[in-house]
Amino acid sequence: MTRVHSLSGADVLVVGAGVVGLTATWRLLSAGSSVTLIAGEARTSASAASGAMLSIFSEMDEAQPDERVRIDVSERLAADALWRDWLPELERVAPILTTNGTWVVGTAVERRLLERMRAAALDNGRMAELHSIDEVPVRPSGGSAYGLWLPDERAVDSAQLLSALDTAVRAHPAALVLDEDVQSLSLRSAGPVVAELAGRTAQADAVVVAAGAATSTLLGDLAAELEVPRVLAARGSGLLVASTKSYPNTIRSPNRAFACGIHAVPRRGGCLYIGATNRFTALDDSMTDGAALDELAVIIHSAVNDIDDRLYSARLLSTQTGYRPFTLDRLPLVGRTADERVLLATATYRSGVVLAARIAELITTEILGSCPNPHPYSPRRRMDLPPDTVTLNLAAQDLIRSLIEPGGWIPPGVESRIAAFLALAMPDIVLGQTDDDLVERLRRQWAAAPVLEAVPALFREVHRARARD
């Protein structure tokens, strides 16, 4: 077996060539380390298929507690400051289209969320203006009632950013790029980390695992030894189109019902990226499957309903699919594991591009031995998850929203009744629990009249009981 490269001291292996792996490699090289980047042959990362919005406030979810909003905004502001320094340097390597300003368009019901985004922006010294939809440069076929203007939020062309990073890394004299897949990682009690490739090995004093959704599969049995939380995957799909309608800024909706908000992001050559979906997927599924037709239908319908009906005439150029890595608490995994030679840089979920700069800085700081400021992304953090019942209650509400978006409608009062019924039923289905008297009462009612007409009465009964509670 031929040894590929022998590194010592602060030299590093980086596994993964998505935006996080490339940015971390580029930053380490800039700081004076020599790096072997194991880029892999097949690319299933979400980076190339992303909208690449450098979002600070517009990724906020309605159900997020205030402390989580504070964490997200703080980390995104830090990342934004780094990108403002780094992008001009990368643009000297290769062109990167950057568009300034984001419109967040929302329904009348979503005005409260838009106001929350606006307040967060103003609290952090950034501009934010709430407008009626007729003041926004869009033409939705229905739904959207307001637009929040965030002039400090930007977006980049993800393909150009990846190309610039890849070019900069490959041209650096202290970099070795291997376009191969890692078969496994091995750790001895002392000494370097060894990456097994096809017929050869690479080694270094430290390894940064930036393998995205494939992280848990790559680590295998090592995950337990390293005390690494499981990394899950969600598939996201988007469209690249040529449109007669162009936009100088990003236009998006808030995140909604289990998914990202719909967004239209300018691309080079006058093209437009429209995305995206969010489908949980098991890692034993094929990682090369493209977008399903129902995903594309949702994207097209949402874009026309929420953004601009003229997008119906856009010409489809390609579909793009990637796999977003995420943890149970939806925060990234960044830094040293239980073995200090192994660091993680993954699980960025829907925020890989914007957070890549922040993650690269944290990784570089740890590897170079300086003490990083405390951050919330440590792989060894305690994950404080909400109770199952809270999660399922939120899921019940999102199920209803997914039925009426885009463009759907449920009569007043019926939405809350169905949500209450689902919130009662889901714990029984998922957790095997029974809500004693109420469930038994519903079962008796159904046994007495097992007909379709009786179902609304069950919804009303649960809604009344929950209201009394």
pLDDT in tens, 291-349: 778 788 889 988 998 999 999 899 999 998 888 898 988 899 999 999 999 999 999 99
Residue-wise pLDDT for 228-255, tens only, equals: 998 988 888 899 999 887 889 999 999 8
Residue 466, pLDDT > 80, answer: no
Stronger pLDDT, 286 or 393, i.e. the higher one: 393
Residue-wise pLDDT for 30-75, tens only, equals: 999 999 999 986 555 678 788 899 999 999 988 888 999 999 999 9
Three-state SS for the chain is CEEEEECCCCCEEEECCCHHHHHHHHHHHHCCCCEEEECCCCCCECCCCCCCEECCCCCCCCCCCHHHHHHHHHHHHHHHHHHHHHHHHHHCCCCCCEEEEEEEEECCCCHHHHHHHHHHHHHCCCCCEEEEHHHCCCECCCCCCEEEEEEEEEEECHHHHHHHHHHHHHHCCCEEEECCCCCEEEECCCCCEEEECCCEEEEECEEEECCHHHHHHHHCCHHHHHCCCCCEEEEEEEEEEECCCCCCCEEECCCECCECCCEEEECHHHEEEEECCCEEECCCCCCCCCCCHHHHHHHHHHHHHHHEHHHHHCEEEEEEEEEEEECCCCCCEEEECCCCCEEEEECCCCCHHHHHHHHHHHHHHHHCCCCCCCCCCCCCCCCCCCCHHHHHHHHHHHHHHHHHCCCCCCCCCHHHHHHHHHHHHHHHHHCCCCCHHHHHHHHHHHHHCCCHHHHHHHHHHHHHHHHHC
All structural domains of the chain, each given as residue ranges with its CATH number in brackets, are: 2-367 (3.50.50.60), 388-468 (no CATH)
Residue-wise pLDDT for 430-445, tens only, equals: 666 665 678 888 888 7
Q: How confident is the model at residue 465 (pLDDT cuts 50, 70, 90)?
A: confident
Q: Output the pLDDT for position 429.
A: 60
Which range (16-25, 55-64, 171-180, 255-264) has the least confidence?
A: 255-264
Residue-wise pLDDT for 174-216, tens only, equals: 999 999 899 899 998 888 888 888 888 888 999 999 999 899 9
